[in-house]
Copies of this chain bind each other. A is one copy, B any other.
C-alpha cells in the first residue's frame, strides 16, 4: 500500500462512475468485454464487504446506434433515398437505457449479484424530500448487498443542452457522480476514464507525466485545458471539475477503465491514477513529505551532482572528510538507531544471518570513517584525461572521465553499505538514490541524515536521496529516463528480479556458478589446495566454486578421491554429474546450472580442456572460472577461450574480488558484458566526455581542415 493512499483502509462506501468512453466502443455499441471486467470488479468489492454504487453513462449513444440499426432494418429502398433525419435524443436515451441495464443485469446475475436501476433528473434534486428518500432507498439496497446503478434519466429530463449548461445542480454524469458521492456520504469516488489519469500535458506527448496526487496550488497552473495542449481526452476537464468539487469532502481517484483491475488496485491502496485528496488528507500528505517523489529525487540528485562536479577536487575531498568526522561525532545516535532496528528485527523473528548483517558492530563506524578518509585521499577519478588527439592543426580532442550521473542502489539489510556507496558516489561525482530494506529503516535514516548534513549548500543535500516511502522497487525501476545505473547489493534473487524488471542498466551478477577444472597435467597437491580454498574459504560467496571438473584420465586417480574425501571431511556435500555419480557412487546432481552457495558442490569428469570449456560455456554464469594445470599450452587455450568475466590459471576463484584485485573500493562484480565486467572499482561509476578545443575550425564538407589525427601525450 502506498502511504499516500493509506486512506483506503477506512473506505466502506465507494462510488464508481463509468463514462461513455468506457461503456461504449468506437462504433457506438456496448464494450461488452470492458463491461464484463467492470462488473467482475464490482462483484469482487461487493464480496469483500464494500458498499458499491455504480454511476454509468452511455445510454444515449447506445440507443442511437441501436435505433439506427432498427431503422435500417425497417427501411425500404425508397425510405433510404429520402433525406435522413437525426434521431430524437430522448428516444435514443430511452432505448439505450434499457439495453444497457439489461446487459448489466445479465452480467451481475451470472455473478450472483443483484443490481438495481435508479434514474434521476436534475429536477429531482431540487426537492429536499427526494434527497432524503434517495439516501434511505440506497441505504436499504446496500444493506441487502444490492448494487445501485445510477444514470441520468435523459429520456424524461427537461434540462436544456444537457452537456453545456453547468448552472444546474448537476450537468453531466461526472457532476452527478460527485453530487451522489456527497449526498450519499460515500468514502471514495472513482471516476473511470479512457486514460490512466490526469497528466501535466497531453497524454500523447511522451514528456507528459501522470500526476499521482493532485494539489490545486501546484497543478492548477501546469495544466492547461486549451485546444492545443488539452489534458486527456473525453472530458478530462469535466472530470477534474467534478473531482475538485467532491474532494471538498471525500477523496476522488481518476483512473482508466480500460486497464483491468484498476478499481481493485485503487482499493488496495496502489498508486494508480490521480488522487484528489481532501484538505485534511492533503495536510498529512504534505506534512509527511510524500510529495518528493522518487522522480523528483532523481532530478534533484542530477542537479546536485552537476554542482558537485563543478566544484574543485579539493572541495570534494573536504566533503568526504567532513562526512567521516560527522559519522564519528554522531556515533552514539547512529548506534542507538541501529540497536532499535536490531531489536525490532529480533522481535519480528528475522533469521540470524539477516540480524547479523543488520548490526553495526563496535568499531564499525570508526572503520567506515577510516575507509572514507582513504577514499578522500585517492586520486580524483573525475576529469582524468584518458586520450589526447590532435585532430587538425590547432584542434585538440580530449577524452576525459566524468560521472555517470544518477545511481540507484538497492540494498538489503547492511546499513554500512549505505555509507560505502554514498562516499563512492561523492568521490566519483555522482548523484544517488538509496533504497534500503525496511528492517534497516531507522539506521538508514540517521546515516542518511548525518551524511547529507555534511554536504555543503553549494552542492545541495539532494545529492543523495533516501527513498523511504514504501514505493515498490518496480516503480523506481521504471525511471529509466532519470536514473543511469542500478546497483543491487543483496541476494541473487534481488538481483535477478531487478534485472528482469528494468530497462536501466544493472551492474551486478545474479549467479556465480564458478568452475575449477583440474587438467591431467595438474600438480595434484596444488589442485587440492585451490579446490579446498575455492569451495571452503567462504562457501556463500559468489566467487566460490560450485562445480569441480576433472580430466577423464584422472577417473581412477587416488588424488581425486583424496580431494573429494578432504572436501567431505570439511563438511562439503558432494554431488556428481552423470559420469562422476556413477564412477564415484555419488548422489546425482539435479542440474549443472546450480549455485549451492553453501558447503556443497558438483563433481564431473570431462574428456579434455575443450570439453571443460564447452561445459563452462553451457552451464556456467560467466563469473570466474579456473584451470589447474602444469601444461602452459593447455592453460593458454583455457585462458584464451573461456568467455567469463574472470579466468584464472593455478589460483583460487576466491581472488575474484575488487579489493583483492587492487581496485580499491569495490562497486560490485558484474557478469554483464556492457560497461564494466568482473570486479568493478570506482571506474564503473564513470563515463567519458569528449572535449574539443579549437580556434574557429569548421568541417565544410571535410574541406575545412586537414586532418592529422596525431596521438598526443597525456
Q: Which residues of A contact B (CB under 8 A)?
A: 25, 29-40, 66, 69, 99, 102-103, 106-107, 110-112, 207, 260, 306, 309-310, 383, 389, 391, 395, 397, 402, 404-405, 484-485, 502-503, 505, 523, 526, 529-530, 532-534, 537, 593, 617, 635, 637, 639-641, 643-652, 654-656, 660-662, 673-675, 677-679, 687-702, 704, 707, 709
Contacts and interface: CB of A to CB of B under 8 A. Distances in A.
A587 B39 CA distance: 53
A286 B260 CA distance: 40
Find the residue from A523, A656, A690 having the highest chain B CB count within 10 A. Answer: A690
A655 B697 contact: yes
B677 A689 contact: yes
A395 B654 CA distance: 13
A526 to B, nearest CB: 4
13 contacts: A33-B40, A69-B112, A102-B106, A306-B643, A391-B661, A402-B643, A484-B674, A526-B695, A533-B699, A649-B693, A655-B694, A656-B692, A661-B690
B36 A696 contact: no
Contact of A690 (B310, B645, B674, B675): B645
Contacts of A39: 32-33
Contacts of A111: 29-30, 32
Contact of A33 (B33, B641, B697): B33
A698 B652 contact: yes
A698 B306 contact: no
A405 B622 CA distance: 12
A404 B645 CA distance: 11
Contact of A647 (B110, B656, B662, B689): B689
A346 to B, nearest CB: 28
Report copies per complex. Answer: 2
Given A675-B675, A678-B689, 15 more contacts: A33-B37, A36-B36, A391-B655, A391-B662, A404-B674, A639-B693, A647-B689, A647-B690, A651-B695, A652-B698, A652-B699, A655-B694, A677-B689, A677-B690, A679-B690
Contacts of A112: 29, 66, 69
B674 A30 contact: no
B110 A32 contact: yes
B654 A699 contact: yes
A611 to B, nearest CB: 14
A700 B660 contact: no
A707 B112 CA distance: 73
Contact of A646 (B503, B639, B646, B689): B689
Contacts of A637: 310
Nearest to A40: B33
A386 B475 CA distance: 39
A170 B39 CA distance: 36
A36 B660 CA distance: 61
A554 to B, nearest CB: 18
A63 to B, nearest CB: 12
A704 B310 contact: no
A40 B26 CA distance: 13
Contacts of A655: 391, 395, 692, 694, 697, 699
Given A404-B674, A640-B310, A675-B674, A704 B110 contact: no
A485 B674 contact: yes
Contacts of A523: 696
Contacts of A694: 648-651, 655
Contacts of A675: 505, 674-675
Given A306-B617, A617-B306, A690-B656, A673 B484 contact: yes
A681 B709 CA distance: 14
B530 A698 contact: yes
B693 A651 contact: yes
A674 to B, nearest CB: 5
Contacts of A404: 673-674
Contact of A650 (B31, B36, B260, B695): B695
A649 B36 CA distance: 63
A639 B383 CA distance: 11
Residue of A33, A66, A704 contacting most chain B CB atoms (<10 Å): A33
B260 A696 contact: no
Nearest to A531: B698
A651 B395 contact: yes
B661 A691 contact: no
A534 to B, nearest CB: 8
Contacts of A688: 677-678
A692 B404 CA distance: 28
Contacts of A699: 533, 537, 652, 654-655, 660
Contacts of A679: 690
A136 to B, nearest CB: 26
Contacts of A639: 691, 693
A568 B405 CA distance: 38
Nearest to A37: B33
Contacts of A534: 698
Nearest to A261: B33
A102 B107 CA distance: 10
A112 B30 CA distance: 10
Contacts of A36: 31-37, 107
A691 B647 contact: yes
Nearest to A702: B660
Contact of A698 (B502, B537, B678): B537
A518 B102 CA distance: 70
A674 B692 contact: no
A99 B103 contact: no
A30 B110 contact: yes
Contact of A645 (B29, B593, B689): B689
B691 A654 contact: no
Nearest to A70: B112
Contacts of A529: 696, 698
A639 B31 CA distance: 58
Contact of A689 (B25, B505, B644, B700): B644
A69 B36 CA distance: 21
Nearest to A536: B700
